[in-house]
Amino acid sequence: MKHTLFFAAFLLIAGQIFSQKFITRNGHISFYSEAPLENIEAHNYQASSIIDTETGDIVFTLLIKGFEFEKALMQEHFNEKYLESDQFPKSTFEGVITNLDEVNLLEEGTHQVQVKGKLTIHGVTKEVTAPAIIENKDGQLVAKAKFPVAVADYDITIPKVVANNIAEVVDVTVDVTYDPYQAKK
């Protein structure tokens, strides 16, 4: 009985040390649209994400209305006319680190990874692949990535009258700091 209890405790502790999940509720996602007449930039600091260092699974979710713009009118048009955020309130990403066998995210340092998964925007889901950097520093994981998103791929229609104001492809930037996940007791 003692050995069984000791073994169960060892497995529980080892599982927490060697397989950890990391979480954030205030991740930073931004996008930048460079166009002939106007550059548009928006930031969202409310992205939730979880990463499993054992499986490489990574999930993001954010509310579209959380994007903040320099001009209130841009924000209004973004939500009402382009992303239709009342009808499509969230964007999600569900993916995996494809080269997890080459890195140990629990080891301090900077790790180059490849992420592949399904990105849903405006009710449309497309597969995306992007390089990312994940740094393990002081018990936290800091993930950074940048990848292009073609607006037309997600059925976002840009009226011809403002076509020179909005790029056909926008750059999406991810800058997220994760803390170790602590299960509620």
Q: What angle do CA 18, 23, 27 make, to 5 degrees?
A: 140
The residues with which 19 forms a beta bridge, in sequence order, are none
Residue 101: is its pLDDT beyond 50? yes
Dist CA 87 CA 17 (whole Å): 42
4 or 122, higher pLDDT = 122
Amino acid in position 28:
H
Local structure of 162: helix, strand or coil: helix
Complete domains list, the chain, with CATH: 21-180 (2.40.128.110)
- The token pair that represents 24 in the structure block: 């954030």
Amino acid in position 20:
Q
Q: What is the mean pLDDT of residues 143-161?
A: 92
The alpha carbon dihedral of 36, 167, 157, 76 has a sign of: negative
Query: Can you give the pLDDT at residue 38?
Result: 84
Give the tens place of pLDDT for each residue, 22-60: 999 999 999 999 988 888 999 999 999 999 999 999 999
Percent of the chain's residues with pLDDT above 70: 89
Dist CA 146 CA 129 (whole Å): 10
Query: Can you give the pLDDT at residue 113?
Result: 98
Phi, psi dihedral angles at 111 (to 5 degrees)? -125, 130
Query: Can you give the pLDDT at residue 19?
Result: 53
Residue 73: is its pLDDT beyond 60? yes
- Residue 166 pLDDT class (50, 70, 90 cuts): confident
**For residue 173, how far is the Cα from the chain centroid?**
9
Task: State the DSSP code for 153.
Answer: G
